[in-house]
Structure formats: structure tokens, C-alpha cells
A and B are shown apart, each in its own frame.
Chain A
Amino acid sequence: NAGVTQTPKFRILKIGQSMTLQCTQDMNHNYMYWYRQDPGMGLKLIYYSVGAGITDKGEVPNGYNVSRSTTEDFPLRLELAAPSQTSVYFCASLRTSGNYEQFFGPGTRLTVL
């Protein structure tokens, strides 16, 4: 299993540009999450999904959109990039059998200038 994969690893955007951060998992997990990590702030939940076709807002959803058309994919969309969205973005999925372990992707470092 590749686990949770994210693309791209790095990206620089200009203010107002849009982009999609890709996330894919091959573990057949229903639950998937997007977090952002800012210095000294830990991980903040942006959006999460409990299955294909179902998404819900987390703590900091403003400026982002998500979709979940398949179990495997959970893309995060930034429509009008702002400097405040400069961060490291982590996608994760949750195993709901056994010990409910959450698996993280390698992260996407985004800079908005």
C-alpha cells in the first residue's frame, strides 16, 4: 500500500490564483481529513469526509472547498488564494477498525505571495 499520497509537495501561488491540492489513499478508508499546520498552532482541521459524497466543515473552512466523489480521493480546492493561506497542508485518513489509527500524507507546502 502506498498509504496517503499528496501532490504537489510544494507550490507557490500569486494572490487570487486558484489551485487544487490532491490527496489519495489506497487503504479503502471511509474517513478522510484536511489539516493545515501553522507555526506554533499545531494542526487545524479544514474539512473532513466520512464517506464518498459526504463532506463537513472543520475549524477553519473559510477560503477552501472539498469534494469526495470516490472513496480514494479527497481534493482540497483554493479558489482565490490569499497570503493567510500560506501553510503546510496535511491530508489524512482514518482506519475505523481496530485502534482507529489516523494515517497522514507527507504534506504540501504552499506559499501565497
Chain B
Amino acid sequence: ILNVEQSPQSLHVQEGDSTNFTCSFPSSNFYALHWYRWETAKSPEALFVMTLNGDEKKKGRISATLNTKEGYSYLYIKGSQPEDSATYLCASSNQAGTALIFGKGTTLSVSS
């Protein structure tokens, strides 16, 4: 069983602030790292799937990086908006199609 850790557990920022959070995962037998955005009372929505060391992906104001050798990924949000308020989950897998192991998430709250 993999152990995926996320930090911080929660975060509160002002509108317009940029922020980032961390996901750490076991680097041995790594296959893929997933980031999800999870709004209250909804189901998780996929943001990124990354597999290669050094991968960087971007979707609008949100971007993510991956370091498979040291076992961490960063999620960045530039110019946070209230609609970015959600829990951001990361999950790691060690083989294609097998179980994703999720971290506990980072809950972001953005005040206007």
C-alpha cells in the first residue's frame, strides 16, 4: 500500500493571491500521479495526470509539476479566485490501471 501525503491540510488565501500545495508519494515503482479538484457535494473532477519526471501541466491558472525521483508534486494556483475554493486531492499509482492511493487532500478557501 502506497502512502500519499498532502500539505497543508487546509489553506485560506485572499482573492488574487497565488498559492501552492504539495503532494508526496513513494518514488519506487511509480507509474502516475493524478490531481483532482473536489467541490463540496460534488464528485472529484480530474485536473491532471502526470507520468514523466519533470512533467509540467497547465490548465488556465492552475499548473502542476512532478518529480518522480524524489517523490513529490506541486500544484500551483495563480491569482486565486473564490471559485477555486475546493479540496484538491492527489493520488498515486504504481501500475497502469491499478488502484489509485489518495492523499487526504488540501482544502483551499479563497475570500473575496
Residues of A within 8 A of B (CB): 30-31, 33, 35, 40-45, 48, 50, 58-59, 90, 94, 96, 99-107
Contact in complex: A96, B97 (CB < 8 Å): yes
A-B contact pairs, 14 of them (CB 8 A): A33-B99, A41-B104, A43-B44, A43-B89, A58-B99, A59-B1, A59-B99, A59-B101, A99-B49, A100-B96, A102-B100, A103-B46, A106-B42, A106-B43
Task: Name the interface residues of B58-112: CB closer than 8 Å to any CB of A.
Answer: 89, 91, 96-105
| Interface Cβ pair total, 8 Å cutoff | 55
Task: Please report the C-alpha to C-alpha distance between residue A90 and residue B42 in the assembled complex, in whole angstroms.
Answer: 10
Distance in Å from the Cβ of B99 to the closest Cβ of chain A? Answer: 5
Contact in complex: A100, B32 (CB < 8 Å): yes
Chain B contact residues: helix, strand, loop or mixed: loop
Contact in complex: A90, B43 (CB < 8 Å): yes
Specify which chain A residues have a CB less than 8 angstroms from the CB of B104 in the assembled complex.
40-42
Task: Please report the C-alpha to C-alpha distance between residue A40 and residue B51 in the assembled complex, in whole angstroms.
Answer: 27
The chain A residue sitting closest to B41, CB to CB, is A107
Contact in complex: A94, B43 (CB < 8 Å): no
Distance in Å from the Cβ of B19 to the closest Cβ of chain A? Answer: 20
Distance in Å from the Cβ of B73 to the closest Cβ of chain A? Answer: 15
Contact in complex: B43, A104 (CB < 8 Å): yes
Known A-B contacts A41-B104, A42-B104, A43-B102; A105 and B49 likewise in contact (beta carbons under 8 Å): no
